A = this chain, B = another copy of it.
Amino acid sequence: MSKEKVITIGLCGFGTVGQGVWKHLKRCRPDLESRLGGPIKVGAIAVRDLKKKREVKAPARLISADAMAVATDRKIDIVCELIGGTTYAKKLTLAALRAGKVVVSANKALICDHGAEIFRTARKHGGHFFFEASVAGGIPIIKALREGLVANKFPQIYGILNGTCNFILTKMEALDAPYCDILQDAKDMGYAEADEALDVQGWDTAHKAAIICWLAHGVWIGSDKMIVEGIEKITPQDFKNASALGYEIKLIAIISRDFKKNEICVRVHPTLLPAGNVVANVNGVFNGVSITGDVVGTTQYIGQGAGQDATTSAVIGDIADAVALIRNGKGLHLSEVSPSEEKQVLKLAPLENIRSCYYLRLTVRDQPGVLAKVTAVMAKHKVSIASVIQTLSESEGTASLVLTTHESDEKAMEATLSQVSRLAAVVSKPLLLRISDFTE
């Protein structure tokens, strides 16, 4: 293949990210061309609505409304799937891969739901699928996991993967304000979607955790196989309690693997992290990821997890890799963790193997004997208490009771929680958070 061939990019989708890619690609194209040893250009842009006014203008001759035509156009080498959703985006992605093209995508939901099929199709037809922008925005975390840390096995990876949740938690603590108020602020500032469920209930984080799990361990774990809990039940008082105990509360994903038992566990939940932990100090819309490899030890990565610019930076990084790959004659790229071998032996860790310390917050009637009843339930399930904080509750005649435990397991805590909830003195649904001892 001649080095002079113009490598041509098709942008399917021209929303926030599509416009960012166009804008920044235009600016950095001379540099990229010099480093990539030949010309590149955007050859087509597909939009949903031809009449919509956009902040960033592109030449009318490039624009059409037929994304599938762009994805399968023989003149297009690299297809940027920036449409979102999982139906049409999937069709388009598979069609482009079947045509042997490189697809660049930021669509984590698509990868989670159809990753196995996408990568199978890519392998079969000599296409490639790049997805750096799908996890942790502009931080090149996928490249680190796949390439830079290739010598490692990963007993533990954890981190903050959703900027919206981290923004809400950070503000709740800083302003001592309830969840609902800060959620509204986040919506007003454009940091949260109109329908916030995907973010605040932990599903977006779960999608990203699934991608990390697959990169690190070669298996797809569906979110139905994970513990997934959101941030909606956290109150300002929880931050005060956590702080008094020496912790910060963060929504984190934990992808852990026990190599002796060959068990894997993926979970997403608000977690009390030691105040000195690097990830515990990642605030606002930032993401932070801690990767422990068996050779390298722990490395940590912090940066903006979303937004036009951070996502664009990752998409253009993928485009550059795609161009280098195409100029190399579509040869072999470093493939994923050997999927065939791993899949057969990896088991999900049973609940009783997931061990942790716990934070249990109860709202109870302010009357004698309540603590005795609660602690009796815990004793019955062999849950050992580490500390107790009792404070007056906002509603009269009730108290807030916070108990932390020594290490226990999910099964014992589930049983405890269910039984404690049924105590007459417990007036609202208890909140159970996990406490991690991650120091790095």
Chain A residues with CB under 8 Å of chain B are: 3, 24-25, 28, 31-32, 34-37, 132, 137-140, 143-144, 147-153, 276, 278, 281, 293, 295-304, 309-310, 312-314, 316-317, 320-321, 324-325, 327-329, 331-338, 341
| A297 with B138: CB separation less than 8 A | yes
A328 surroundings in chain B (CB, below 8 A): 325, 328-329, 331-332
> B303–A299 contact, CB under 8 A?
yes
* 6 closest cross-chain pairs (CB), A and B: A140-B148, A328-B331, A299-B303, A151-B316, A138-B296, A296-B313
- Give chain B nearest CB distance to A7 CB in angstroms: 12
Contact of A332 among B36, B281, B293 (CB under 8 A): B36
Given contacts A36-B334, A298-B304, A328-B331, 4 further A-B contacts (CB under 8 A): A296-B304, A297-B303, A298-B303, A299-B301
Known: A140-B144, A297-B304. A37 touches B335 (CB 8 A): yes
The A interface, classified by DSSP as helix, strand, loop or mixed, is mixed
A303 touches B296 (CB 8 A): yes
Contact A300:B301 (CB < 8 A) given known A35-B337, A35-B338, A151-B24: yes
When chains A and B are docked, how far (Å) is the Cα of A304 from the Cα of B295?
11
Cβ contact within 8 Å between A312 and B295: yes
Q: B281 to A295, Cβ gap below 8 A? A: no
- Bound together, the chains give a CA A307 to CA B334 distance in angstroms of 26
User: Does B329 lie within 8 Å of A334, measured CB to CB?
Assistant: no
Chain B proximity of A68: nearest CB distance (Å): 27
Contact between chains at B301 and A301 (CB < 8 Å): yes
A129 to nearest B CB, angstroms?
16
CA distance A281 to B140 in the complex (A): 22
Pairwise interchain contact B34-A341, C-beta atoms closer than 8 A: yes
Cβ A332 vs Cβ B324 within 8 A: yes
Closest CB in chain B relative to A28 CB, distance in Å: 6
Which residues of B lie under 8 Å from residue A25 when comparing CB positions? 151
**Is the CB–CB distance between A150 and B316 below 8 Å?**
yes
**Chain B residues with CB under 8 A of A143:** 140, 143-144, 147-148
Give the shortest distance, in Å, between A345 (CB) and chain B (any CB): 14
Contact B338 A34 (CB under 8 A): yes
Assess the A331–B327 pair: CB atoms within 8 A. yes
Q: How far is the CB of A32 from chain B (nearest CB, A)?
A: 7
Q: Does B150 lie within 8 Å of A35, measured CB to CB? A: yes
Q: Tell me, in angstroms, the Cα distance from A391 to B136 when the chains sit together.
A: 47
Q: Contact: A335 with B35, CB < 8 Å? A: yes
Q: Chain B residue with minimal CB distance to A303?
A: B299
Could you say which residues of chain B place their CB within 8 Å of the CB of A34?
Answer: 335, 338, 341
In the assembled complex, the Cα of A35 lies from the Cα of B181 at a distance in Å of 49
A316 to B153, CA, bound (A): 13
